[in-house]
């Protein structure tokens, strides 16, 4: 495969997009460290891959992300690819939202990307270069009501991707972001509870019908992640790749 002999870490890979990214990287020959805050989920995904390893880590914890990177090097000898995927969403108006709720989203979605850059970046560089792929969102480009903390965190992920790409270029590390539209995962299903708490109907099905036509699949995100993680994207860095079935164009 195009990722033979490469070692990768993927955060939040116990289910959904991260799981599909881990599977896609492994299918191209990478040795994958499947990481998640949910140790059992990470272990289950890793077992099915039949290689690599799993590592429980909270993506918002500096100690955990540092330990995850160290685990990759100790167990597999090197690190070439880091996918910062772990993320959560919470729908609520900015006015009335607690600072704790706001920070919970940004601590995982934004701090988590910073920590992967901070700790995986120099190790990837030290091994001769490689790639970082950050999972942002189309909400980084156009926000919507009730998604403030999430959209702000994702816009910041795109900005951090640009800075990291510039700072790490001479060290041979390319850094890109993926901006998915609605992808069929538990994250979207779980927003139903947010809307119920607000006394509002869940609008996503109508939005998807009008804008995207259908949900994207986690596997479709996995394919773009392989492209950006591997040699076929050799001149791509600092960019945000929209993957939304044409939603942003409509």
Residues carrying an active site annotation: 150
Q: Is position 32 an interface residue for ligand NAD (rule: CB under 6 A)?
A: no
Q: Minimal CA–CA distance to 41: which of 25, 59, 19, 22?
A: 19
Q: Is position 120 an interface residue for ligand NAD (rule: CB under 6 A)?
A: no
Q: Is position 23 an interface residue for ligand NAD (rule: CB under 6 A)?
A: no
CA pair distance 212, 203, nearest whole angstrom: 14
Q: Is position 105 an interface residue for ligand NAD (rule: CB under 6 A)?
A: no
Q: Which of 46, 54, 60, 176 binds ligand NAD (CB under 6 A)?
A: 60
How many residues interact with ligand NAD (rule CB under 6 A)?
28
**What is the per-residue binding string for ligand NAD in 126-155, x denoting contact by CB under 6 A?**
---------x-x------------------
User: Which two tokens mark 142?
Assistant: 């156009």
Q: Is position 186 an interface residue for ligand NAD (rule: CB under 6 A)?
A: yes
Q: Is position 180 an interface residue for ligand NAD (rule: CB under 6 A)?
A: yes
Q: Which of 182, 208, 226, 237 binds ligand NAD (CB under 6 A)?
A: 182
CA pair distance 97, 227, nearest whole angstrom: 38
Residue 247: CB minimum distance to ligand NAD, A = 11
Q: Which of 41, 49, 147, 228 binds ligand NAD (CB under 6 A)?
A: 41
Among positions 67-96, residues that touch ligand NAD (CB under 6 A) are: 85-88
Q: Is position 18 an interface residue for ligand NAD (rule: CB under 6 A)?
A: yes
Q: Is position 188 an interface residue for ligand NAD (rule: CB under 6 A)?
A: yes
Residue 248: CB minimum distance to ligand NAD, A = 12
CA pair distance 39, 41, nearest whole angstrom: 6
Q: Which of 37, 69, 177, 226 binds ligand NAD (CB under 6 A)?
A: 37
Q: Is position 100 an interface residue for ligand NAD (rule: CB under 6 A)?
A: no
Residues engaged in binding ligand NAD (CB under 6 A) = 11-12, 14-18, 36-38, 41, 58-60, 85-88, 108, 135, 137, 180, 182-183, 185-188
């Amino acid at each position: 495969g195009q990722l033979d002999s490469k070692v990768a870490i993927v955060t939040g890979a116990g289910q959904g997009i991260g799981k599909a990214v881990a599977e896609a990287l492994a299918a191209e020959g990478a040795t994958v460290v499947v990481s998640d805050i949910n140790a059992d989920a990470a272990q289950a995904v890793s077992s099915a891959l039949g290689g690599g390893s799993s590592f429980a880590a909270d993506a918002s914890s500096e100690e955990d992300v540092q330990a995850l990177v160290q685990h990759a090097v100790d167990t597999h000898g090197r690190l070439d690819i880091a996918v910062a995927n772990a993320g959560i969403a919470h729908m609520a108006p900015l006015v009335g939202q607690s600072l704790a709720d706001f920070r919970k989203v940004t601590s995982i979605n934004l701090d988590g990307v910073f920590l992967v850059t901070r700790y995986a970046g120099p190790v990837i560089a030290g091994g001769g270069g490689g790639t970082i792929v950050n999972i942002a969102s189309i909400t980084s480009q156009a926000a919507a009501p009730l998604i403030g903390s999430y959209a702000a965190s994702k816009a910041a992920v795109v900005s951090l991707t640009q800075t990291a790409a510039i700072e790490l270029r001479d060290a041979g590390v390319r850094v890109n972001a993926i901006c998915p539209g609605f992808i069929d995962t538990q994250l979207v299903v779980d927003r139903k509870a947010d809307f119920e708490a607000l006394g509002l109907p869940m609008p996503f099905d109508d939005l998807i019908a009008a804008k995207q036509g259908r949900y994207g699949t986690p596997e479709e995100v996995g394919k773009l992640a392989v492209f950006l993680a591997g040699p076929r994207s050799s001149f791509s860095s600092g960019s945000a790749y929209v993957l939304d079935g044409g939603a942003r164009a409509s």
